[in-house]
Chain A
Amino acid sequence: DSGVTQTPKHLITATGQRVTLRCSPRSGDLSVYWYQQSLDQGLQFLIQYYNGEERAKGNILERFSAQQFPDLHSELNLSSLELGDSALYFCASSPVTAADTQYFGPGTRLTVL
């Protein structure tokens, strides 16, 4: 158990819908990262937040957005969902003193029908 929690574990929805994935980092970690894992693209970095502010952006679609709240939990919002958005979405967090090491949560499996 990494200490990073994600909800929900599974999510099934229809095309065109909007969903919100939630992540709680390890206690004391200020950085939160979001990744998408699909069979054809592997593990892709989406976005990073540090203490509430966006720090880095990866291959994140404009239909996707994220935020980190004052209590340091983060949410990833996916809108106008397409079949190709079906994937595993992972959140990771890193400690202040060892910002390189990222600890991953168990993931949310999103299925778009």
Chain B
Amino acid sequence: GESVGLHLPTLSVQEGDNSIINCAYSNSASDYFIWYKQESGKGPQFIIDIRSNMDKRQGQRVTVLLNKTVKHLSLQIAATQPGDSAVYFCAERIAGGSNYKLTFGKGTLLTVNP
């Protein structure tokens, strides 16, 4: 079965608010995590990544937090905009060799209300 899952399948926020999307993973051997954004009719778009030797990484308006103790990953979006409305996926990679297979979670639908 899937080793990556999401706490909330849907999230609705007001424009300008901060959004937090959560993801749980079960494989302690995972060493690399990525967040993707998928808009309707498009392919997943890379947002931000983090390696297991880090706890936090920041990008433009986005922050990813990794808690290895409880195997939890979160994506924070600051000042959420209508254009942020999409499905967000977390993905993990299990360490080892040259195999870069990613395992994706089911996704969270983020809806931003104007």
- Residues of A participating in the B interface, judged by any CB pair closer than 8 Å: 2, 4, 31, 33, 42-45, 48, 50, 55-56, 58, 90, 92, 94, 99-107
Contacts and interface: CB of A to CB of B under 8 A. Distances in A.
A48 B101 CA distance: 8
24 contacts: A2-B45, A33-B100, A42-B105, A43-B89, A43-B107, A45-B102, A48-B99, A48-B100, A55-B98, A55-B99, A56-B99, A56-B100, A58-B101, A94-B100, A99-B98, A100-B34, A100-B100, A102-B46, A102-B100, A103-B46, A104-B44, A105-B43, A106-B42, A107-B43
Interface of B: 2, 32, 34, 36, 42-46, 49, 89, 93, 98-107
Looking at chain A's contact residues, the main secondary structure is: strand
B43 A2 contact: yes
B28 to A, nearest CB: 18
Given A55-B98, A55-B100, A106-B42, 6 more contacts: A55-B99, A56-B99, A100-B93, A100-B100, A102-B100, A106-B43
Q: Which 10 A-B pairs have the closest CB atoms?
A: A104-B43, A43-B104, A56-B99, A104-B44, A56-B101, A42-B106, A106-B43, A107-B43, A45-B101, A100-B32
